[in-house]
Amino acid sequence: MITVTLPDGSTKQVESGAPAKAVAEAISPRLADAALAAVVDGKVVDLAYPLHQDAKVQIVTNKSPEALEVYRHSTAHLLAAAVTNLFPGTQCGIGPPLDDGFYYDFVVERPFVPEDLEAIEKKMKDLAAQDFVFERQLWPRDRAIDFFKKRGEPLKVQLIEEKTAGQSEVSVYTIKDKETFVDFCVGPHVPSTGKLKAFKLTTTSNAYWKGDAKNQPMQRVYGTAFFSQKELDEHVTRLEEAKKRDHRKVGRELGLFAFHPWAPGAGFWTGKGATLYNTLADYMRGKLFPAGYQEVKTPIVYNKELWVTSGHWSHYRENMFLVKSADGDEMALKAMNCPGHYLLYSTEKHSYKEMPIRFHEQTPLHRNEASGVLGGLTRVRQFSQDDGHCFVMESQIASEVEALLRLIQGIYKDFGLEYTAKLSTRPEKFIGEVELWDRAEAALKEALDKSGQPYAINRGDGAFYGPKIDFDITDAIGRKWQCATIQLDYVAPERFDLKYVGADNAEHRPVVIHRAIFGSFERFIAILIEHFAGAFPMWLAPLQVIVLPIADRHLEYAAEVRALLDKAGLRATLDDRQEKVNYKIREAQLQKIPYMLVVGDREAADRAVAVRSRAKGDLGARPLDRFVTDALAEVTSKALS
Ligand SMILES: [Zn+2]
Ligand SMILES: [Zn+2]
């Protein structure tokens, strides 16, 4: 007998050689039924995995964080089994799980058409219903290579040769249907196809073996899988909603920004788009100035020496735009503000009395991304960040980070964004003393606890130069985006020889805190467009009010209304085209302008406006003064609807 230790610290005895599933059975029949895989001494394995020695065992059910990946990868095999069953002679590539599903690559005679996907999905359901066992077998390596060679699968042969060099045996899986599907894989998988309850094939695309366009062209089939039909349906609805909200589409419809092939990955902001951009920029200034930040401006182009000192020249050069000065010096456009801020800090002597010193900057940054990966505002070559660096004494870390956490909480609240935080701790490769890291991590924890911010811990995921806190925001349709970050840095102050004079009159090293809340403005705007589906709340809307005269004779009063709105500081426009007012309303509605003010004879006589809200429809006539007061109050309160 061997002893297994369960996550709660209790133990169970099982026969030596018993499968991991026996542990689930020893706990309860219900757990055995719900089990999908197991974690044995930290490794995710099949339920059939034999236990030969004492071990820590955890049973994976659909509640476990490891489960979805195993489930989706297993569904990818089901897809491959269905494809090879329906299209004999198809060669299989690889089939990994993804954040929102899975894919499998195939070499096929002709590209798949939508009817093929329907047939494949039907076949998958059929194979799932028959509840075939995912059986792992260890084959002698030669036999496996021979098998896949004979079956006309040179890609699998290549995979085996690359991934199992020096091994005598290789791991293959079968799904025991009548064609006996066999695939080279190390697993793990769910115990049988019957566990795969809810999946859907979503799309196909062209792919290449190993993602290299020089290699064999393949067809990639994408799918997604969830533990229940309800979750799957919700996901499909979310995908459709995401398509409708796509910032590239909405941005075009609202006329916010454009791109041109001569400046790939750099947005052209229209008047409306630039207004939105500047509204966010000014909003952030309004938050940071009272929090003790100085807005600074540092150069865009720097001599190579700076990048050598910062370490970017050796590690990051290919991501930067390199230029030559008139004197022939090698220069590079900045891809981040940090090194410039260190130079700025070093231009003066600093005393402990000034600390913390906080810089923030919104000037443009450039990253030399390959044009193939650019798309909309989420991946760009030119962007600006609400980038900031705080220079603090070690004793100030906890209070500074706590203040930052409160700032972040307030800002996300203004946008109605839900978020989660995670603390990433010392990685395997790190610089500095272990005690220093321990102190830094303790300071971050103290700040998180004091601010009341719930957080998860990502053990070992910190940067090599210090621990960090990252924030994921969740948008209106449940998607997560990584945005704010707070990173401690002990390395940069050394490299740039940053100093301050302490109370003891001696020189000390400050600690640098890199922090951003929006991240890049471009990406944050993309997130906001999709979060609000283009219907920005009043305080953010690039155009807040549109005045719509019913007939030409109302133009004079309409212009007066518009002028009054302008004077009050509202972003207003006047639609003076000779179109029917209903047509103008429809257009303004499509432009998602929060308020439409219709003016005719009666409004002109009463100095009133007939108010139409984008969200609530006709609100009736109101004195003009009262509309202005209400609208300004809505802007000031940052009401979200
Ligand atoms: Zn597999
Ligand atoms: Zn930085």
How many angstroms separate the CA atoms of 485 and 114, rounded? 42
Residue 178 has pLDDT above 60, yes or no: no
Residue 580 has pLDDT above 60, yes or no: yes
Three-state SS across 479-526? CEEEEEEEEEECCHHHHCCCCEECCCCCEECCEEEEEEEEEEHHHHHH
Q: What stretches of 235-286 adopt beta strand conformation (E)?
A: 257-258, 268-269
- d(CA 11, ligand 1 centre) in Å: 30
Q: Would you put residue 479 in left (φ > 0), alpha (ψ -120 to 50) or beta?
A: beta
The overall average pLDDT reported for the chain is 93
How many angstroms separate the CA atoms of 320 and 312, rounded? 9
577 annotated active-site: no
* Block residue for tokens 């962007």: 383
385 annotated active-site: yes
- d(CA 300, ligand 1 centre) in Å: 48
Question: For residue 329, what are its two tokens?
Answer: 């010096």
Long-range contacts of 400-403 (CB under 8 A, 24+ apart): 400/356, 400/447, 400/513, 401/443, 401/444, 401/447, 401/448, 401/469, 401/486, 401/513, 402/446, 402/447, 402/450, 402/451, 403/291
Residue 37 has pLDDT above 90, yes or no: yes
Q: What's the pLDDT score for residue 179? A: 61
Sign of CA dihedral 253, 258, 264, 266: negative
Give me the phi and psi of 597, to 5 degrees please. Answer: -110, 110
Ligand closest in space to the Cα of 135: 1
Q: What's the pLDDT score for residue 567? A: 97
> Where residue 511 falls among pLDDT bands split at 50, 70, 90?
very high
Q: What stretches of 32-79 adopt beta strand conformation (E)?
A: 37-40, 43-45, 50-51, 55-60
Q: What's the pLDDT score for residue 292? A: 97
- d(CA 512, ligand 2 centre) in Å: 8
> Three-class SS of residue 364?
strand
**pLDDT tens digits, 312-322:** 998 899 999 99
Q: What's the pLDDT score for residue 375? A: 74
> Where residue 177 falls among pLDDT bands split at 50, 70, 90?
low
Residue 536 has pLDDT above 70, yes or no: yes
Q: What's the pLDDT score for residue 433? A: 87
Ligand closest in space to the Cα of 79: 1
Q: Exactly one of 367, 381, 479, 571 is catalytic; name it.
A: 367
Minimum mean pLDDT among 24-28, 253-257, 315-319: which range? 315-319
Average of per-residue pLDDT across 120-149 = 93
Q: What's the pLDDT score for residue 67? A: 95
- d(CA 215, ligand 2 centre) in Å: 39
- d(CA 163, ligand 1 centre) in Å: 14
Residue 256 has pLDDT above 70, yes or no: yes
Q: What is the DSSP string of 292-355?
A: TEEE----SEEEHHHHHHHTHHHHTGGGS-EEE-TT--EEEE-S-SHHHHHHHHHTS--BGGG-
CA 624 to chain centre: 44
Q: What's the pLDDT score for residue 180? A: 67
Q: What's the pLDDT score for residue 463? A: 87
Q: What's the pLDDT score for residue 543? A: 97
- d(CA 187, ligand 1 centre) in Å: 4
Contact 26/12 with Cβ under 8 angstroms?
A: yes
338 annotated active-site: yes
73 annotated active-site: no
Long-range contacts of 61-69 (CB under 8 A, 24+ apart): 61/31, 61/34, 61/35, 61/36, 62/34, 62/36, 62/227, 64/36, 64/39, 66/37, 66/39, 67/36, 67/37, 67/227, 68/97, 68/226, 68/227, 69/97
Give me the phi and psi of 168, to 5 degrees please. Answer: -90, -25
**pLDDT tens digits, 101-119:** 999 999 998 999 999 999 9
Give me the phi and psi of 569, to 5 degrees please. Answer: 90, 15
Q: What percent of the chain has pLDDT over 90?
A: 82
Three-state SS across 173-191? EEECCCCCEEEECCCCCCC
- d(CA 569, ligand 2 centre) in Å: 35
Q: Which residues contact 332 (CB under 8 A, 6 or more apart)?
A: 301, 302, 304, 307, 312, 317, 320, 321, 322, 323
> Where residue 477 falls among pLDDT bands split at 50, 70, 90?
confident
Q: Exactly one of 272, 287, 312, 468 is catalytic; name it.
A: 468
Residue 558 has pLDDT above 60, yes or no: yes
468 annotated active-site: yes
Give me the phi and psi of 19, to 5 degrees please. Answer: -70, 160
Cis peptide bond prior to 188, omega within 30° of 0: yes
Nearest residue to 345 (alpha-carbon basis) of 300, 388, 399, 401: 388
What is the residue type of 17?
Answer: G
Minimum mean pLDDT among 116-125, 165-174, 523-532: which range? 165-174
| Residues, CB-to-ion distance under 5 Å, ligand 1 | 185
- d(CA 73, ligand 2 centre) in Å: 37
Residue 534, burial from CB neighbour count under 10 angstroms (0-12, 13-18, 19+): buried
Q: What's the pLDDT score for residue 369? A: 87
**pLDDT tens digits, 597-627:** 999 999 999 999 999 999 999 999 999 999 9
Q: Which of 143-157, 272-286, 359-373 has the highest mean pLDDT?
A: 272-286
How many angstroms separate the CA atoms of 619 and 299, rounded? 51
- d(CA 480, ligand 1 centre) in Å: 27
Residue 210 has pLDDT above 90, yes or no: no
389 annotated active-site: yes
334 annotated active-site: no
**pLDDT tens digits, 383-442:** 999 999 999 999 999 999 999 999 999 999 999 999 999 999 999 988 888 998 999 999
Ligand closest in space to the Cα of 386: 2
